[in-house]
Chain A
Amino acid sequence: MKKIISGWSLIKIFTLLVYIWMFAPIVAVVILAFNPQQFGSFPMEGFSFKWFVKLSQNSTILDAFKNSLVLGSFTAIFSTAIGVPAAMAFIRYEFRGKEFLNTLLLAPIMIPEVVLGVALLLFIRWLQQPKSFALLLIGHVVLTLPYVLLIVQARLVGIKREYEEAALSLGASPFQTFREITFPLLAPAVFAGMLFAFTISFDDVTATLFWATAQNQTVPVKIFGMLRNSISPEINALGAVMIVLTVSTPLLAGYISRKFAKGSGK
């Protein structure tokens, strides 16, 4: 019996160490962002908001933030707009080649981003189109579509078809059924899909490096450029801002969707 307990405590200690290992670097970024020292490294020499102030005055970074927000929002909208109907088709209908098509639509997850980047850029070049915001947008839609599909499909499986059939048999049109029954039940998943698409788009570096021009650089691409020299306290400050933003988003979203779910009687 004694041996079992010690085995279990070893597992606990190991798990704790993994947590520490995983979060130590992230915590270090946030702490160092407040270090007034010039080189963005230890030791801490006080506490200041100097780098955040400097960041808020850096217009190229603010532009990059704007680009990222616009791109992420449009990506989320387009990706869910085409992903939700596709998920409906896969879950609600039987047709030939379903398995194959589902795998095809999920394929971008498994294809390296570099290859996606090269491929799309090559295609655009062949069409003799310049790099543009539209290229970034369609590229990001392809990158995020599989995740939207996965999330919405998983949710749709859990929505009983009987609800829809009941509505139809009571005289609702298919569109009314979707609007009144399916969509409210599906809303949390659509929301989660949009959020996921936004985050992936906001976060993407590799493919974006291929597709972005100097005018439509996103925040991660900007950070990548800044890193050429070395890590600076400004990067740590920017990192801290992004960590706080991106960590609070899913927590907030989880809270909202739980409210949603309660509202719909789940």
Chain B
Amino acid sequence: MKNKSWKPWILLSPSLAAVFFLLVVPVCFVIVYSFWLRAPSGADIPAFQFGNYAKFFEDFFYPSILLTTLRVALETVFLCLIMGYIPAYFFYKTESKLKPFLMIIVMLPFWISFIIRTLSWINILGDSGLINHVLMRIGVIQEPIAMLYNEGAVIMGLLQYLLPFMILNIYVSLDGIDKSLAEAAKSLGCTEWQAFKEVTMPLSLPGVSAGCLLVFVLTCGTYLPPMILGGPGNEMIANLIFKRVIGTLDWPFGSAISAILLILLATIVYTYNRYMGISQIFKTLSNE
């Protein structure tokens, strides 16, 4: 028994080494770099000062991008919740033979390239996209309506990317609820709606909150949908980081913005974990 204690560590060491050197250490570098200075020549000077953070909050420009990010994230979570709960509930309740098939279909987008799914909305929302084409054909409008390159289009792209995560999280939670509970409530005189509101819905909340957290966190770090479907005013925080680091090579400032995003998300995840426990999310993801 005694010689067994080192065994798990041998099995773990490659993964731990990978995550330590390729994630933990680099993230520490980001934090350290965020205090450095950038010389006018472009060189980075080691220092310990809060200038990069001060620059971020100096005027309204950068914080407004942060606010846009948070607003888009909340809107996406809200829409995802509505568009996700009902299909998840359908899967929970249905006795159709097609259910396994329908569930596979709903998971298919996971496998379809993210960039293809994002750009596919151009074919729908663009000036010569499906909607404008049909509306002009039947004569409702003469000129195409501009539906692309705004916040709505960005949210469309995000929803399509994140909805399967939400449906899966809610469904896993619903699936664990004994259907006889709602039946019992009904036999005691509840209506269908009351039984749902008082019994099923509260019991599904762990899945709902896990889905919301996952969608929120993933939206906050999103880069592609605002780039492809958004206009100049729909920049989100990840776009800003990319521009500062790859575009202007301003590593210290880019690091500081990364650190701000990281701290924000860590606070949210930490608070969530405190009250709800993070394991629900991992449990659901492993079901896929």
**Is B one of A's binding partners?**
yes
Interface code B95-115, partner A: CB below 8 Å = 1, 0 otherwise? Answer: 000000000111011011111
Q: How far is the CA of A18 from the CA of B105 in the complex (A)?
A: 12
Q: How far is the CA of A221 from the CA of B258 in the complex (A)?
A: 22
Chain A residues contacting B288 (CB-CB under 8 Å) are: 151, 196
Nearest CB of chain B from residue A222's CB, rounded to whole Å: 10
Majority secondary structure, A binding face: helix
> Which of B49-57, B174-182, B201-209, B220-228 lies at the interface with chain A?
B220-228
Is B245 interfacial (CB-CB < 8 Å)? yes
A118 touches B116 (CB 8 A): no
Q: A22-B160, A42-B130 are contacts. A101–B16 as well, Cβ < 8 Å? A: yes
Is A111 interfacial (CB-CB < 8 Å)? yes
Q: Residue of A at shortest CB range from B91?
A: A15
Q: Which of A41, A119, A236: most chain B Cβ within 10 A?
A: A119
Q: Which of A24, A92, A139, A151: most chain B Cβ within 10 A?
A: A24
Chain B residues contacting A150 (CB-CB under 8 Å) are: 282, 285-286
Chain B residues contacting A112 (CB-CB under 8 Å) are: 217, 220-222, 238, 261-262, 265
Interface code B255-288, partner A: CB below 8 Å = 1, 0 otherwise? Answer: 1001001100100010000000010001001111
Interface code B108-131, partner A: CB below 8 Å = 1, 0 otherwise? Answer: 110111111101111110101110
A28 touches B124 (CB 8 A): yes
Q: How far is the CA of A81 from the CA of B222 in the complex (A)?
A: 29
Is B35 interfacial (CB-CB < 8 Å)? no
B120 touches A209 (CB 8 A): no
- A247 interface neighbour in B10, B111, B228, Cβ under 8 Å: B111
B163 touches A119 (CB 8 A): no
Q: How far is the CA of A83 from the CA of B109 in the complex (A)?
A: 25
A–B complex contacts, Cβ < 8 Å, 7 sampled: A22-B109, A41-B128, A93-B4, A101-B12, A115-B27, A154-B286, A210-B242
Residues of chain B having any CB pair with chain A under 8 Å: 4-5, 7-12, 14-16, 18-19, 22-27, 29-30, 33, 83, 86-87, 89-90, 93, 104-106, 108-109, 111-117, 119-124, 126, 128-130, 133, 137, 160, 163, 192-193, 217, 220-224, 227-228, 238, 241-242, 245-246, 251, 254-255, 258, 261-262, 265, 269, 278, 282, 285-288
